[in-house]
Amino acid sequence: MLACKDIIGPIIRFFQENFFYLHPGYTLFNTIIFGLILGLVVLIIIRMFRWIKKDPKDLFLPLIPFIFVGSGARALVDNGVYPLTLFLVTPGIYIIVGITAIMTLLASVKLEEKFGWDYKRIIFLTGLLLSIPNIMHLKPFNLTPFFGILAIWMAFTLIFAVLGLQWDLLNDRVNLAVLSVHLFDASTTFVAVDFYGYWEQHVLPTFLTNITNTAFVMFPLKILIILTVLYFIEGFEDKYVKNTLKISIFILGLAPGLRNFLSLCMAT
């Protein structure tokens, strides 16, 4: 008969090699699995927002400090400030931050019901408090990539802000914000890969970057995908579905973009 360790050992190694690992990069297999898990989590969160009767659209700003907690920690690991552990790399750090944010949301709603405190302010202040360790450990910034990334991002965002004056899809400030954070992510990738010798870790961007020999391809890729997704999301009438999808896409753009930005700017 097989011993218990003969069965459990290969299972543990499988998860360590494919999901909980310390080396950078993604595979097609774990990308698909992570996507399916994310889809399931989004469905659960939609039900949660219906239960607490709060519009996800109100949380775009309050959740930014929480995004900084996760992305800042990843950047500090990249620069050797924090130790390289499973709890501080993907997906560990984002699972921890995500669960903390959800628990904070639920607790803040209860506090609002009992004391009348604004739940959004509670979430924002809690995120700021949790951000203090990251802020204290930030290294001096390299101003060249700092201003370079911001200039490219602002230029692309301005273009679509102007287009939004005549285009209903982008006349919505939430939609413009969602697109803008993905343009920010594209800007960080382009600068890091093309000018500082970094490499893309995700499957499709890696494939396209290798074909075109430039990470500038991230801009048309992001623009095409995000605008198409936003167009279809606008077809939903349920605000909980529509706005949960939007805030999920917002986080998926800002989290890696902020990690890349901080990592590159702190690098010596």
Query: Are 191 and 264 contacting, i.e. CB atoms less than 8 angstroms apart?
Result: yes
Predicted local confidence at residue 203, as pLDDT: 80
155 and 268 housed in the same domain:
yes
Predicted local confidence at residue 201, as pLDDT: 78
81 and 121 housed in the same domain:
yes
Predicted local confidence at residue 268, as pLDDT: 63
158 and 132 housed in the same domain:
no
147 and 128 housed in the same domain:
no
Asked whether residue 66 is assigned to any structural domain, the reply reads yes
With CA atoms as reference, report the closest residue to 104 among 133, 124, 134, 87. Answer: 124
Predicted local confidence at residue 225, as pLDDT: 96
Q: What angle do CA 49, 50, 53 make, to 5 degrees?
A: 80
Q: Return d(Cα 119, Cα 185) in angstroms, integer.
A: 29
178 and 161 housed in the same domain:
yes
Predicted local confidence at residue 12, as pLDDT: 66
122 and 152 housed in the same domain:
no
Structure token pair of residue 83: 């130790």
160 and 265 housed in the same domain:
yes
Domain interval for residue 261: 141-268
Predicted local confidence at residue 1, as pLDDT: 46
Q: How many domains does the chain have?
A: 2
96 and 165 housed in the same domain:
no
- In tens digits, the chain (268 residues) has pLDDT values of 445 555 666 666 766 666 666 667 677 777 788 889 999 999 999 999 999 999 999 999 999 999 999 999 999 999 999 998 888 888 889 999 999 999 999 999 999 999 999 999 999 999 999 999 999 999 888 999 999 999 999 999 999 999 999 999 999 999 999 999 999 999 999 999 999 988 887 788 888 899 999 999 999 999 999 999 999 999 999 999 999 999 999 999 999 999 999 999 998 6
Domain boundary among 104, 138, 172: 138
Predicted local confidence at residue 9, as pLDDT: 61
Asked whether residue 21 is assigned to any structural domain, the reply reads no
Query: Are 69 and 134 contacting, i.e. CB atoms less than 8 angstroms apart?
Result: yes
148 and 80 housed in the same domain:
no
Asked whether residue 46 is assigned to any structural domain, the reply reads no
pTM of the shown model: 0.91
96 and 76 housed in the same domain:
yes
